């Protein structure tokens, strides 16, 4: 399953929730040393915050982001919150 379709599916679930106590926006912030996922209410209150230090990763002597580790972590966070759905990679037309 691709990462982007899962994020869009999570976004749609959050945006269709009806109450101020339910999520309105998911913010995924991937930096050089830390990755963060926050869930915000319609009223702008922080509902949840998950943080992960990025693992050091070098490829060919060049520092790189641990993209696979970040993706696995983000998908796990979204799944634990019930915000992850299996989305087909191709939608029949």
- Residue 54: its pLDDT value, please? 93
Mean pLDDT, rounded, for 11-16:
56
Domains present along the chain, CATH in parentheses: 3-80 (3.30.420.40)
Global pTM reads: 0.65
pLDDT 10s digits, 23-60: 567 888 999 899 999 988 878 889 899 999 999 888 89
- Residue 29: its pLDDT value, please? 92
The beta-strand segments (E) located in 4-93 are: 23-30, 34-41, 46-53, 58-59, 62-63
- Residue 16: its pLDDT value, please? 52
């Amino acid at each position: 399953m691709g990462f982007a379709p899962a994020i869009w599916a999570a976004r749609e679930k959050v945006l269709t929730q009806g109450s101020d106590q339910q999520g309105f926006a998911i913010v995924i912030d991937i930096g050089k040393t830390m990755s963060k996922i926050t869930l915000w209410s319609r009223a702008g209150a922080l509902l949840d915050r998950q943080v992960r230090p990025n693992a050091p990763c070098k490829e060919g002597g060049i520092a790189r982001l641990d993209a696979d580790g970040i993706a696995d972590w983000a998908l796990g966070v979204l799944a634990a919150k019930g915000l992850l759905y299996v989305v087909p990679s191709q939608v029949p037309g």
